[in-house]
Structure 1
Amino acid sequence: MGQKQLNNMGSLGLYASWLLPLLCLVIFPCPPVRSSDVTMADAAHHQEFARRLALFSINVYDKLTAQKPGENIVFSPFSIQTCAAMARLGAQGQTAAELDLGLGLASSDPAKIAQSFHQVLAAYQDSQILRIANKIFVMEGYPLRQEFDQLLTKQFLSAAQNVNFAKSAEAAATINGWVEQRTNHLIKDLVPASALDANSRLVLVNAIHFKGTWLHQFPKHGTRQEAFHLDGERSVQVPMMSLKERFRYADLPALDATALELPYKDSDLSMLIVLPNSKTGLSVLEEKLRVTPLSSITQALHRTQVVVKLPKFKAEFEVELTEVFQKLGMSKMFTDQAEFGNMLQSPEPLKVSAIIHKAFIDVNEEGTEAAAATGIVARTKRSIVSLEEPIEFLADHPFTYALVHQEDLPLFRGSVVRLEENSSFSSEHDEL
């Protein structure tokens, strides 16, 4: 599997960035082995949840950039963590302990784990801008354990639905249709029919979709063909959006970088862009970000006049995440010794065989549309800045970004390291 970068600059959608991360965690059979509601108003719990998610986000980002150097990265740490947390509720022993540590969960108590996710899920339950949905599909004749079912239903707002996995094409169509509908038809074919058969027992799915417009839209007439520097020597001509406005901005000398927050209209979400000062400085910046809390960047932001130049871009990303999870210390879940005995009423042993993540982003002048889906398939085992002059934030070289909640909860994360030249832009732009 790989990542392909798209850049059809001439015909972009209505919204400025479409972001689609997609995760599929597949659980397969292995032989038997011998041997209180917390709400968003609770600021302390929410801040701790956001801090841990941000740490998980940078850990996954670090592994992905090492695994796929030179590629644009796009993924949803929240989608991955939410889906894996649902699986964690059915885990026991060392498998559960590894998931607690690797996912950065604040508790090892399944009820408290579920509560921590509920505070986010419930807050956006009626939102028209950000929609988050969870569901579990269960093989006919294999009832869930009551405790597992109740946690999913009440805390993850996930209702169970029976399907016949033996009819793999039909079952896949049911699951994928649900995901597609919850993500505004942006995520298709989350679970392939080939991943399902008569041995499949359950599929857990998380879908997240965000749609909004920039609070300050980039004027289309201001977009011009300009250079994007791939490294110290090579550059490509791309459509560069331009806007002069008051934004929250930070000079970050310790990171040798600057940061800019682009807010969305009628939303508590924004895109945070961190731009290295050097055209070849992204890898050094990424290393520093490993030990830099997201909150330390957002707290440094202050409102000032900024001239922003940001390229239009599209990127598509796909990766199998088993290696990433293993490197983060979550390895037993993939072995014949995996312990997922708290999922089903029947005593069948389960293990994880694959984790698949896909993502897509499209950034243009008007807004952002973002979507993510996560599915788990289970089978029986086998500085000081002058405010007098506008600051220039010129994103004409590789940078990293995150779609974040106002309290530093990263829903999506990515980087732009390469763009393709678009020869059709000039003629189409001239016609505007």
Structure 2
Amino acid sequence: MKPSTSTHPRSIWALTACWSLLLALSLSLCPLVRPSDVTMTDAARQEYARRLALFSINVYGKLTAQKPGENIVFSPFSIQTCAAMARLGAEGETAAELDHGLGLASSDAGQIAQSFHQVLAAYENSQILRIANKIFVMTGYALRQEFDELLTKQFLSAAQSVNFAKNTEAAATINGWVEQRTNHLIKDLIPPSVLNADSRLVLVNAIHFKGTWVHQFPKHATRPDTFHLDDKRSVQVPMMGLKERFRYADLPALDATALELPYKDSDLSMLIVLPNSKTGLAALEEKLRITALSQITQALHKTQVVVKLPKFKAEFQVELTDVFQQLGMSKMFSDAAEFGKMLQSPEPLKVSAIIHKAFIDVNEEGTEAAAATGAVVRMKRSVISLEEPIEFLADHPFTYALVHEEDLPLFWGSVVRLEENDSANSEHDEL
């Protein structure tokens, strides 16, 4: 252990990497809390999902305001997981701001850790969804025992010593781990310039999901079609087509419709919410801020739907400090930050940056994205259907989420623009 002789806050990095999405959080060292032996009840899981959904839409709203006209894609679960690991080392007003801003259901570190453990442990051996956490610690420094135990047992996180003073080597080590855990989709997350001799910790959360649709879109049915950017502008894009029985909902209160596209061998699905108007996405986003995700999913019912959905890819990178501050989490970035429970050495720590990077690819076979997995049973098709098929034509801006069956949003995004013939010639890796 190396005592500090400086009164200036040192730097910590926490980053989350998702197979199709990544978050990096740079912060100063933080305080910790003791674990408690708790298990989540059904009500607690529902409350956790509800709060994550609220956090998701709050972050989404800030991102759309910050980057208007851009396709948004991010993992609220990854952001929350990474920040929650830092929260375990926080105390005082810093901890209280994180509890409120992240939408955590408890201020007890053990219960916070347990709520995330439920999700992390469920997919520990999954072949479809891989979630991993890791802590990189400055050589010569040791984690406090309580903090180490919570991260190791509940966040399934291992620690590795790194000399941040050798910033190029340290960045290469961290980025190599991230790249490996994200199937080489997220590269060079941490620039060497953000690491130095004052850096103490880097917390990493990696999520890797690759899902195949239960009902795949036939490739021969994909053809150029019109995507309306607004009332006046449009582009020709590869539009996938399929007629199948899906869970669908008409949502008059939102002036929108919703469609659920399930993934094979998974308890995850893509939920698409499509405004009725070509220019209705902004109004829909406002209404979603006061609409529980469960209200949408509970309105879904099985019916025959003719689906038209554009193939799309999106890459997104953003520094999240402003978003966190707008959500009431400011002290963690200041010299007054209270992160005394992370390291055994009593030195002041603060968050210096939060970097989030994401990628998604949606095509005929399925989706590459951050998400969760489980089992989906395919409904047998009726021999004769008297239903008049409903048309779900996603030919204008829409929002979507990758959602666990318990309404847990692990991935959120929007499509507001597509390039002419976007993805027309793209090749997709085997699923």
RMSD: 2.0
Task: Structure 2: give runs of 5+ residues left out of the alignment.
Answer: 1-17, 31-35, 372-384
Q: Is the 8 A contact 1:91 1:339 kept in 2?
A: yes
Distance in 2, Cα, partners of 1:155 & 1:129 = 21
Describe the SS at the equivalent of 1:61.
helix
Shift of 1:371: 3.9
Q: Is the 8 A contact 1:274 1:400 kept in 2?
A: yes
Question: 1:211-265 CA distances to partner (integer Å, 9 max, x unpaired)?
Answer: 1100000000000100000001110000000000000000001001000000000
- Indicate the residue corresponding to 1:14 in structure 2: none
Structure 1 residues 150 and 20: CA distance shift in structure 2, 3 A: same
Describe the SS at the equivalent of 2:305.
strand
Q: Mean alpha-carbon deviation: is it higher for 18-27 or for 143-152?
A: 18-27
The amino acid across from 1:131 in the alignment is R
TM-score by length of 1: 0.87
Shift of 1:28: 4.6
The amino acid across from 1:211 in the alignment is K
Shift of 1:81: 0.2
State how 1:127-206 maps to structure 2 within 5 Å: 127-206=126-205
Distance in 2, Cα, partners of 1:48 & 1:358 = 27
- Indicate the residue corresponding to 1:47 in structure 2: 46
Q: Mean alpha-carbon deviation: is it higher for 302-311 or for 184-193?
A: 184-193
Distance in 1, Cα, partners of 2:116 & 2:222 = 40
- Indicate the residue corresponding to 2:320 in structure 1: 321
Describe the SS at the equivalent of 1:323.
helix
- Indicate the residue corresponding to 1:3 in structure 2: none
- Indicate the residue corresponding to 1:263 in structure 2: 262
Shift of 1:319: 1.2
Q: Is the 8 A contact 1:39 1:118 kept in 2?
A: no
State how 1:80-99 maps to structure 2 within 5 Å: 80-99=79-98
State how 1:29-428 maps to structure 2 within 5 Å: 42-371=41-370, 388-422=387-421, 425=424
Shift of 1:402: 0.1
Structure 1 residues 425 and 75: CA distance shift in structure 2, 3 A: closer
Q: Is the 8 A contact 2:28 2:200 kept in 1?
A: no
Distance in 2, Cα, partners of 1:71 & 1:425 = 20
The amino acid across from 2:154 in the alignment is Q
Question: 1:187-221 CA distances to partner (integer Å, 9 max, x unpaired)?
Answer: 11221211111111110000011111000000000
Structure 1 residues 46 and 387: CA distance shift in structure 2, 3 A: farther
Question: 1:143-163 CA distances to partner (integer Å, 9 max, x unpaired)?
Answer: 011000000000000011111
Q: Mean alpha-carbon deviation: is it higher for 359-368 or for 95-104?
A: 359-368
User: What is the number of equivalent residue pairs in this alignment?
Assistant: 392
Shift of 1:356: 1.1
Q: Is the 8 A contact 2:19 2:181 kept in 1?
A: no
Structure 1 residues 117 and 99: CA distance shift in structure 2, 3 A: same
Question: 1:363-387 CA distances to partner (integer Å, 9 max, x unpaired)?
Answer: 1100112149xxxxxxxxxxxxx97
The amino acid across from 1:179 in the alignment is V
Q: Is the 8 A contact 1:38 1:118 kept in 2?
A: no
The amino acid across from 1:278 in the alignment is S
Describe the SS at the equivalent of 1:337.
coil
Q: Is the 8 A contact 1:172 1:196 kept in 2?
A: yes
Describe the SS at the equivalent of 2:65.
helix
Q: Is the 8 A contact 1:187 1:371 kept in 2?
A: no
Describe the SS at the equivalent of 1:295.
helix
Shift of 1:308: 0.3
Q: Is the 8 A contact 1:245 1:306 kept in 2?
A: yes
Shift of 1:321: 0.8
The amino acid across from 1:209 in the alignment is H
- Indicate the residue corresponding to 1:379 in structure 2: none
Describe the SS at the equivalent of 2:107.
coil
The amino acid across from 2:26 in the alignment is V
Shift of 1:72: 0.6
Identity percentage of aligned residues: 85
Structure 1 residues 423 and 24: CA distance shift in structure 2, 3 A: closer
Distance in 2, Cα, partners of 1:261 & 1:319 = 28
The amino acid across from 1:265 in the alignment is K
Describe the SS at the equivalent of 1:71.
coil
Structure 1 residues 387 and 165: CA distance shift in structure 2, 3 A: farther
Q: Is the 8 A contact 1:316 1:361 kept in 2?
A: yes
Shift of 1:21: 2.5
Q: Is the 8 A contact 2:29 2:342 kept in 1?
A: no
Distance in 2, Cα, partners of 1:425 & 1:217 = 17
Structure 1 residues 251 and 123: CA distance shift in structure 2, 3 A: same
Q: Is the 8 A contact 2:73 2:412 kept in 1?
A: yes
Shift of 1:175: 1.2
Larger relative CO (CA 8 A, sep 6+): 1 or 2? 1
The amino acid across from 2:94 in the alignment is T
